[in-house]
Structure 1
Amino acid sequence: MDDDGGRLARWENRSEIPLFLMGLLFLGAYAVHVLAPGLPPAAHTALLAVIGFAWAVFAVDYAARLRLSGRRFGPRYVVSHLLDTVVLLLPLLRPLRAVQIYQVMQRRHEQPRMTLYGRVIAYAGMTALLIGFSGALAVYQQERDAPGATIVTFGDAVWWTCETLTTVGYGDVTPVTPAGRVIAAFLMLMGLALLGAVTGSFSSWLYQVFAREGELPPGR
């Protein structure tokens, strides 16, 4: 009988790509639901059904991973599987697990892995695009009909998201609803985290390049 680690690895290898596609389906259905309010009610009902079904699949996957890990659900499990927990609570971020697809494909084909710096830059770029699009959708949904709102079009939401993620914050458009401000706080934190990750990785790469070229004293 295989150990828990082997069963969990097989589950991840088999489920990661279908779950990634399900995440894209979730994001697409949510985007159409938000950006096309003029669709017939039946169409919005169908979109909400797709969204609910996709979330249920994510919940089943989370429960399966918990069971196959042989551990009990608790704070330690949540901390050690933080990304899994976050994408369950915020399914719009499910495509962030695309990095797992890369790892699965490497295990299957045994090809050389991308360098650490390349992975950091690629993952940070993908994360910025995904969080930016998802954040724009979410804040637009909350703000568009609010009294005194300055984010009244999706273009406004995209512009505001770019300002927030890059930590520029012109202040020309700002969320006025409580939910919109919660989204803003999340995007601010993510912007700082992404900026720190990319800056640190790039600085480390430059240091190694200079060290190889002999422009830095050895041992520093």
Structure 2
Amino acid sequence: MDDDSRTRRWQRRTDLPLALASLVYLASYAVHVLAPGLPEPVRLALRSLQLLMWVLFGVDYAVRWWLSGMGLRFVRLHWLDTVVVLLPLMRPVRIVKTYETVERRHGRPRLPLQARVIVYAGLSAVLLGFAGALAVYQQEHTAPNATIRTFGDSVWWACSTLATVGYGDVTPVTPWGRTIAVGLMACGLALLGAVTGSFSSLLLQRFARGEEDERGPPGK
């Protein structure tokens, strides 16, 4: 059995459990950030749960690296996986890939390519926006001269940033908050470009099909 087939078997077996682990990580982080008044044992349990999920992500990355047999080329070719290991809050975005894997197990995808891109980009935006709002709120709400004081402020900021609107009514003031903002801006531009391009392509295909139906079969 070659390395590629072993890697695929490993991914098929671990995609769904790791997707659930991603949701557990995000949920435990959300509770940790949004409920600061919890008893210390509960907060310790949440931090331990986050660490356990991160260890699982690291083990998965290490196993796939070993199975690939690529050496350091694996890090370059799978840069998104590397970023996800270093920044586990981005791990829930991989749930989109898991959804596609599960869908393919049941035969052909139910949606055309362009529609799938739009759906996946939408899911990614929701997950990224929520994770980004949590991370920025944690950094900002206690900072001096902060404009992001509540989680609602942070959600509003994340939505305007991902949409590339940037009203400027609430902005990060801490170094880490601004670093997160730069990453969210880049993701917003990429997602918006993917959705716009796919939607335009989908419309062009529909219009072209409609014109062909109006002309009728060739030769008539």
- Residue identity over aligned pairs, in percent, reads 61
Tell me the distance in 1 between the aligned counterparts of 2:180 and 2:103: 35
Tell me the distance in 2 between the aligned counterparts of 1:112 and 1:124: 16
2:180 aligned partner: 183
2:64 aligned partner: 65
TM-superposition CA deviations, 1:102-161 (whole Å, max 9, x none): 343245333445321121011111011001100000000000110000101101100111
Select which of 190, 193, 200 maps to 1:193. 190
TM-superposition CA deviations, 1:196-216 (whole Å, max 9, x none): 11000111111112222228x
Counterparts in 2 of 1:151 and 1:46: CA distance versus 1, 3 Å = same
2:215 aligned partner: none
Select which of 115, 133, 157 maps to 2:154. 157
Select which of 119, 143, 146 maps to 1:146. 143
Larger mean CA deviation between 56-65 and 100-109 belongs to 100-109
1:7 aligned partner: 6
- Is 2:198 the partner of 1:206? no
1:135 aligned partner: 132
Select which of 105, 109, 117 maps to 2:106. 109
Contact 2:134–2:154 at 8 Å: present in 1 too?
yes
Counterparts in 2 of 1:162 and 1:112: CA distance versus 1, 3 Å = closer
Report the TM-score, using the length of structure 2 for normalisation. 0.92
Q: What SS does the corresponding residue of 1:214 show, helix, strand or coil?
A: helix
Larger mean CA deviation between 130-139 and 203-212 belongs to 203-212
Return the letter of the residue paired with 2:4. Answer: G
Post-superposition shift, 1:87? 1.4
Report the TM-score, using the length of structure 1 for normalisation. 0.92
Contact 2:115–2:202 at 8 Å: present in 1 too?
no
TM-superposition CA deviations, 1:69-116 (whole Å, max 9, x none): 11102xx32232122112111111212112332343245333445321
Tell me the distance in 2 between the aligned counterparts of 1:88 and 1:157: 24
Select which of 119, 122, 125 maps to 2:119. 122
Return the letter of the residue paired with 1:131. Answer: L
- Is 2:72 the partner of 1:52? no
1:87 aligned partner: 84
1:98 aligned partner: 95
Return the letter of the residue paired with 2:185. Answer: M
Tell me the distance in 2 between the aligned counterparts of 1:107 and 1:192: 28
Structure 1 unaligned runs (5+)? 216-220
Q: Count how many residue pairs are aligned between Structure 1 and Structure 2.
A: 212
Return the letter of the residue paired with 1:164. Answer: T
Return the letter of the residue paired with 1:115. Answer: P
Q: What SS does the corresponding residue of 1:213 show, helix, strand or coil?
A: helix
Tell me the distance in 1 between the aligned counterparts of 2:109 and 2:145: 54
Return the letter of the residue paired with 1:61. Answer: D
Counterparts in 2 of 1:46 and 1:118: CA distance versus 1, 3 Å = same
Tell me the distance in 2 between the aligned counterparts of 1:112 and 1:181: 39
